[in-house]
Structure 1
Amino acid sequence: MSILLAVAGTCLACGGGFVWQRQRRTRREATIREFLLPKGLFEALQVHHPQLTPKDCQLVAQGLRQFFLVHLKSGGQFVSMPSQVVDDLWHEFILYTRAYEQFCRKAFGGTLHHTPAIALDQRHRGNDGIRRTWRLACAEENIDPRHPSRLPLLFALDSKLAIPNGFVYVPDCDGVARKGQQGGGGGGDTYCGAHLGGGDSGSGTGSGDSSDSDGGGDSGGDSSGCGGGGCGGGGD
């Protein structure tokens, strides 16, 4: 009898732990979906991108929110950032140190760091981060990652907002000529969503190879941008 009681107690404890983890995940997801960015952040973004309207900035904020959700749902694995303009907003948010740290504690349980691509270790220089971001962003918008009919917001923003040196993605790579070196950073390369999802990349371009990082990254010719899906978070 004592053995049965012990087993039952263990099962209850495990079940209770699972419920607690699920509730915590729900709370953290709600934090990400509902948080408000600090005042002045859009103005700071417009210094880098003066062509952006307030409505455009709101759209970029939605992209950043989607990236944070991707990080949460990755379970702490490394995820890459596929958008230059969203990465720029992330940079500005980090500069609001207290607000950013408070947000991260509520949303992730700890700070989501942003590491320049040049500082990455070898394990984060492959495709896993950008592929993981693609799959989770597609899941967020109910898109088939292998045969997408459209792009998730996070992957569409640079092209939609005509961001200089931004990263261009297309859902289906059939018929798209290669541009530049495969897996390059910004310089006009086009990246294929279907390829990232493991589908047929057709004659598409870059595979999304790029610099990945534990907390975001910089790439390309300078140290202030992320390269074709190079910036990211998690995977510490």
Structure 2
Amino acid sequence: MTRFEYLLMRVGDNIRLIAVGAWALAFVGIFAAVWRFHGIWLFYLFCTVVLSVLVLQWAQSMHRRHIREAPLPRFLQRKLRETYPHLSPRDCELVERGLRQFFLACVHSNRQFVAMPSRAVDALWHEFILHTQAYKHWCRDALGFFLHHTPAEALGPKARHNDGLRRAWYWACKEESIDPKAPSRLPLLFALDAKFAIPNGFTYVPDCSDIGQKSDAGGTGGGTYCGTSFSDGSHSGSSGDFGGADSSDGGGDGGGCGGGGD
């Protein structure tokens, strides 16, 4: 990332403050010019809005690019194999891709709560955050804010407690061009624990019909959960606000990731 791109990204991170200042300046211009210049204030407001939107979109695109392309510390995969010795180097690369998918969901969710659905990815994330300086710099360049770590969680019976998982599901599906309401397969982030037989991991299948009768937790009594539970209206709330429900503030079966500042 060039210095110019980084500066633009930092501008985007503070877009709310910039927009407030720009709007204040615009209204000053209204009172000064509306009677003399007839309509120039509308053009002024239009330019302010357009500039704010463009800067924000540029900043978000830079964050997404950094998440997808910037290398993660090489020691993380070694640490992951110490936790799960049965994983191969290729397996660890897939878990790293899952962590990137999770970070992308956090960026898309605009600092709203996003829960971690995978114990394997959670272990990698936890190792990363222990190295505070490297993690702080990553958060700055990839997210624009410091992302605090809290444990992985499973789908719960109360709709308001599943908002964070629903955001993770929605954006992980979108990243892989999967319909989140009618998935034909699982996005990587939700498939890893079962794929690698992670102890006490969370097992998902795309459709509830694949596992028969659902339990109160949205899956079977054996701990299997289904993607369609995120949009069935009973356990996960309305499917109409996928990715945009209010934060559950870490309530329910576990934690998630919050979007607080430094």
TM-score, normalised via structure 2 length:
0.71
The letter for the 2-side match of 1:159 is A
Mapped pair 1:79 → 2:103: no
Q: Distance in 2 between matches of 1:20 and 1:130?
A: 29
Question: 1:2: which partner in 2?
Answer: 37
Deviation by residue 1:37-74 (Cα, 9 ceiling, x = unmatched): 11211111111101011000000000000000011001
1:172 partnered with 2:196: no
| Partner Cα separation in structure 1 for residue 172 and residue 152 of structure 2 | 22
Q: Paired residue for 1:223?
A: none
Please give the alpha-carbon distance, in whole angstroms, between the structure 2 residues aligned to 1:173 and 1:188: 14
CA distance in 2, matches of 1:92, 1:52: 16
Answer whether contact 2:67 2:100 (CA < 8 A) is retained. yes
Bigger mean CA deviation after superposition, 109-118 or 16-25: 109-118
Corresponding position: 1:23 with 2:58: yes
Q: How many angstroms does 1:110 deviate by? A: 1.5
Q: 1:59 aligns with which of 87, 91, 94?
A: 94
CA distance in 1: counterparts of 2:137 and 2:222, whole angstroms: 37
> Which consecutive unaligned segments of at least 5 residues does structure 1 have?
202-211, 220-226
Structure 1 residue 96 corresponds to structure 2 residue 131: yes
Native 8 Å contact 2:117 2:152 kept in 1: no
Contact 1:194 1:200 in 2 (8 A): no
Task: Check whether the contact 2:139–2:147 (CA below 8 A) recurs between aligned residues.
Answer: yes
The residue type equivalent to 1:47 in the other structure is E
Task: Give the equivalent residue in structure 1 for 2:225.
Answer: 191
Which is helix-richer, 1 or 2?
A: 2
**What is the identity, as a one-letter code, of the residue corresponding to 2:224?**
T
Deviation at 1:78, TM superposition (A): 0.7
Counterpart Cα distance in 2 of 1:112 and 1:234: 6
CA distance in 1, matches of 2:110, 2:231: 19
Share of identical aligned residues, percent? 49
Which one of the candidate residues 205, 217, 222 is aligned to 1:182?
217
Question: Could you tell me which amino acid in structure 1 is paired with residue 257 of structure 2?
Answer: G
State how far apart, in whole Å, the 1-side matches of 2:87 and 2:259 are. 32
Q: Is the 8 A contact 2:204 2:226 kept in 1?
A: yes
1:82–1:115 distance in 2 versus 1, CA, 3 Å: closer
Match of 1:232 in 2: 256
Counterpart residue number, 1:113: 148
Contact 1:78 1:213 in 2 (8 A): yes
Q: Which runs of 5+ in 2 are unaligned?
A: 1-35, 236-247
Asked which structure has the greater CA Rg, the reply is 2
User: What is the aligned counterpart of 1:133 among 168, 173, 187?
Assistant: 168
Task: Tell me, in whole angstroms, the C-alpha distance in 2 between the residues paired with 1:136 and 1:144.
Answer: 10
- Corresponding residue for residue 10 of structure 2: none
Matched letter for residue 42 of structure 1:
Q
Quote the offset at 1:197 in angstroms.
Answer: 2.9
Which residue in 2 is equivalent to 1:13? 48
SS in 2 for 1:79: coil
Q: Deviations over 1:156-176 (max 9, x none)?
A: 000011111100000011152
